[in-house]
Structure 1
Amino acid sequence: MQFLSRWENQRLSATVRGIPMVDGVATADIGNQRWSPAHGDLALPVLTLDEAAFAANRDLFLKWCASSGVAVAPHAKTPMSPELARSLRAAGAWGTTVANVQQAAVLLASGERRLLLANEIGGLAAGRRLGTLLGAYPDVEFHAFADSPAAVAALAGAARIAGRSELSVLVELGAGRTGARDRAAVEATIAAVLAADRLVLGGVATYEGAAATSDTDETMRAIAVLLERTIETFALVRAAAPKRPLILSAGGSAYFDVVARTLAPAAQADGNASVILRSGALFFADHGIYARAFAEVDRRGGLLIEGLHHSAVESFRPTLTLWAEVLSRPEDGLAIAGFGMRDASFDQGLPVPLRVFRDGVEQQGLAAALAVTRLNDQHAFLSVASEAALAVGDIIAFGISHPCTCLDRWRVIFGLDADGVVARALPTQFG
């Protein structure tokens, strides 16, 4: 736990966004400061995590997984927070997913010992880097993706350098992103794994989100085709590895219900296979892309947990809030807030004003009169209804869209308790 103890002993200074202009505060002492973003105690802008909402989302999804006959290795690329990854695993997650060797290094250093590397790693040089990393962690259970003989060769080099007798390879099917596109590519990849020393077939993987389009019906057809190809590929892998426990892995945060309904019966029929989802962003939810995705889940029947139906929209709670101050009211109908593209995601929708505070007191109804219209580097432009009495110095709480591209802008996020007070600091480790 050397990595975590380094953060626990660190003193966070005002150079870390959100920390007030005070002498350094030990990470372990953050919760004793009783800072509240609504009262202006933190240096704004700042990103916070609703701890209760995160725990509720975690418990809900893990319960749904158990009821649906699947497991989850949450994708750590969303927060890149070893502490949050550890908390998900402690609550019952199967393991942790990473996107590249750098992320694997962070999670291994923090103590994780079961990883899916849900991506091709690259060529032989990348294989050498992965091999050096795995050599330092001989006890880790590690699964990597391959969609070609070239990808297999890189993993074989990694296994050799690491001195591992076995390295598990999941044959990846794909549409729109990485992944073998046809049976010939699948068969070539399987053959390469069987021919390689130190590699074993570990299962099959895909990512259904890459098949999505702007048309809902077309998306569902494309995902159905991809998952059917995944089951066909699983049969080929099973024929090549008749006795090994195998993994069927898919499932982001938008179509996890479709994946479970399709793949869980195949794994159950096999009798020696597990479906491992890789959902990560849904633990955070949002006020944009995933709010819309959950509405689609409800249109497909919602969440079935132990025979009872639950609304995804009503059950998953947004956890992230971006706090910023009104800097200027330069003209009627316009306000400038102190955050921008350096602070908030904007690829899947602009932030949404949720609440407005003045001297720590919420100004009821004022947020409804506001809308973010555009961002530049460090300024947000807000339209303001003519009757709205928004003032310089007011603090606005914003909901965000797409947690993955918001969290990666922050070195530290702050966990809030039920009273809206900072309970802890959560360092992130983006490469």
Structure 2
Amino acid sequence: MKTDPSNSIIEIGYKGFPLDSYGKSVADFLAKRPNIFTSGFQFPLMVIKHDALTNNIDRMSRFCKSVGAELAPHVKTTMSPYIAQLQIDAGAFAVTVASLWQAEIFRKFGFKRIIIGNEVLDQYAIAKIAELNKSKAVEIIFYVDSIEGLEIIKKFTPSDGIQNLFIEVGTVNGRGGVRSLELVKEIAIGIHSDPRLNLRGVTGFEGAVPNISRTKDGENLVIEFCGRIVNAAQLAFEYKSANKFIISAGGSAYFDIVATELNKFNQEKILLLRSGGYVTHDSKYYEDLYPFKS
């Protein structure tokens, strides 16, 4: 059942809201058109300009369309169902989160396709995800980057459960992901051999590659890493599920390079970017890295 954010009841967890707003619905509170400076808001308070927010969402949506990509923005940036819904309304394919806990928040608000951008190894989370996928009420995809991780996923997935998996590709001195292409194939075969598991695609995060930058040498490191993802996709494609194969990467800085390089994968695919910071982080640091200005 979808929960409307405007019907949520304001309580102490709503940072910065006026004390006399507690117990009211968001809709009722906003109906009185509260003023940031005179309505009792508790400072410090972060405020987002709605026109800037929607401009960023629209700009990224148009960029994705221009390069033939889908978008699954990482919504840990805001943890705001309202903002995430604006992104979905602008054409986003899914939302990306960091954990099952975050996924459950967005599921509560009616989001139907959720990517957990990490390997899930907790036995209770594995079982819960398998149950949710079986229900068809939501589709959850998460990462695997080792045979050991795959065995844990198999062990705690119920016999009638369903898991949707991305093989994550990593880099030397990176923070996660498969380091060797041989292991990519081994994991793909292991997924394909289990009827409970669906290989949905191959993914990676170029933002974790050491020494990348908007210099020629730094961009070449991003290109090289994307090439590893493409090579991994070529190996894994044979073992994919019945769904269209997904090849994915894309932090909030080098998504233009990612789109160009991953489009070199010449099989039928969904090219999926996962940039999330663009929605609000359009100030100096990212402005110097973005392929377009805010």
Give the count of matched residue pairs: 290
Deviation at 1:194?
2.1
Q: If the length of structure 1 is used for normalisation, what is the TM-score?
A: 0.62
> Aligned runs of 1:30-429 on 2, under 5 Å?
30-37=29-36, 42-134=41-133, 137-157=135-155, 159-160=157-158, 163-164=160-161, 166-175=162-171, 176-213=174-211, 216-241=215-240, 244-266=243-265, 269-270=266-267, 272-294=268-290, 297=291, 312-313=292-293, 316=294
> What is the alpha-carbon distance in structure 2 between the residues aligned to residue 93 and residue 71 of structure 1?
7
Q: Is the 8 A contact 1:17 1:45 kept in 2?
A: no
Paired position in structure 1 for 2:17: 19
Deviation at 1:141?
2.4
Aligned residue for 1:169, secondary structure, equals strand
Q: Is the 8 A contact 1:105 1:133 kept in 2?
A: no
- Name whichever structure is richer in helix by fraction: 2
Aligned residue for 1:181, secondary structure, equals coil
Assess, with a 3 A threshold, how the Cα gap between structure 1 residues 289 and 133 changes in structure 2: closer, same or farther: farther
Aligned residue for 2:188, secondary structure, equals helix
> What is the alpha-carbon distance in structure 2 between the residues aligned to residue 178 and residue 214 of structure 1?
17
Deviation at 1:33?
3.0
Deviation at 1:130?
3.1
> What are the Cα deviations for residues 98-122 of structure 1, in whole angstroms up to 9, with x where unaligned?
1111111111121111122221012
Assess, with a 3 A threshold, how the Cα gap between structure 1 residues 171 and 93 changes in structure 2: closer, same or farther: same
Deviation at 1:228?
0.8
Q: In structure 1, what residue type is equivalent to 2:183?
A: A
> What is the alpha-carbon distance in structure 2 between the residues aligned to residue 114 and residue 245 of structure 1?
15
Q: Which runs of 5+ in 2 are unaligned?
A: none
With CA pairs under 8 Å and 6+ residues apart, which has the higher RCO, 1 or 2?
A: 1
Assess, with a 3 A threshold, how the Cα gap between structure 1 residues 228 and 56 changes in structure 2: closer, same or farther: same
Query: Identity of paired residues, percent?
Result: 27
Q: Which runs of 5+ in 1 are unaligned?
A: 298-311, 317-431
> What is the alpha-carbon distance in structure 2 between the residues aligned to residue 140 and residue 292 of structure 1?
37
Q: In structure 1, what residue type is equivalent to 2:73?
A: P
Assess, with a 3 A threshold, how the Cα gap between structure 1 residues 4 and 242 changes in structure 2: closer, same or farther: closer
> What is the alpha-carbon distance in structure 1 between the residues aligned to residue 241 and residue 165 of structure 2?
15
Deviation at 1:191?
2.2
> What is the alpha-carbon distance in structure 1 between the residues aligned to residue 231 and residue 212 of structure 2?
27
Paired position in structure 2 for 1:423: none
Tell me which structure has the larger Cα radius of gyration.
Answer: 1
> What is the alpha-carbon distance in structure 2 between the residues aligned to residue 41 and residue 290 of structure 1?
33
Q: If the length of structure 2 is used for normalisation, what is the TM-score?
A: 0.88
Q: Is the 8 A contact 2:184 2:236 kept in 1?
A: no
> What is the alpha-carbon distance in structure 1 between the residues aligned to residue 141 and residue 234 of structure 2?
19
> What is the alpha-carbon distance in structure 1 between the residues aligned to residue 27 and residue 241 of structure 2?
50
Q: Is the 8 A contact 1:142 1:168 kept in 2?
A: yes
Paired position in structure 2 for 1:321: none
> What is the alpha-carbon distance in structure 2 between the residues aligned to residue 38 and residue 292 of structure 1?
33
Aligned residue for 1:118, secondary structure, equals strand
Deviation at 1:205?
0.4
Deviation at 1:184?
2.6
Q: Is the 8 A contact 1:62 1:93 kept in 2?
A: yes
Q: Is the 8 A contact 1:249 1:275 kept in 2?
A: yes
Deviation at 1:151?
2.1
> What is the alpha-carbon distance in structure 2 between the residues aligned to residue 142 and residue 16 of structure 1?
28
- Name whichever structure is richer in strand by fraction: 1
> What are the Cα deviations for residues 343-394 of structure 1, in whole angstroms up to 9, with x where unaligned?
xxxxxxxxxxxxxxxxxxxxxxxxxxxxxxxxxxxxxxxxxxxxxxxxxxxx
